[in-house]
Amino acid sequence: MTGLAELEQEPSPMTVITREEILARLQEPAFVLVNVMPKETFQDGHIPRSINLPLSDIETKARQVFPDLGRELVVYCGGPT
């Protein structure tokens, strides 16, 4: 199992992306939109085609959900976490 510490060893540049950019890129195969809200909140409403990976599950499930490290991940939530 991969821990959060291993993922932190290979930092990637982080940038801010606008809502319009997200919507324009949703069909791109290498683009993955990740919703980090709790499952219940995700079920109540989310951006179509987004994948739910709650913050509480990132450390234990991120490698399983995203085995291809070459894909671009865009992470969003409903507010400050």
Q: Does the active-site annotation cover 77?
A: yes
Distance CA 43, CA 14 (A): 27
Distance CA 67, CA 81 (A): 25
Q: Catalytic one among 77, 79, 80, 81?
A: 77
Closest Cα partner for 39 from 53, 26, 50?
Answer: 53
Which residues carry out catalysis? 77
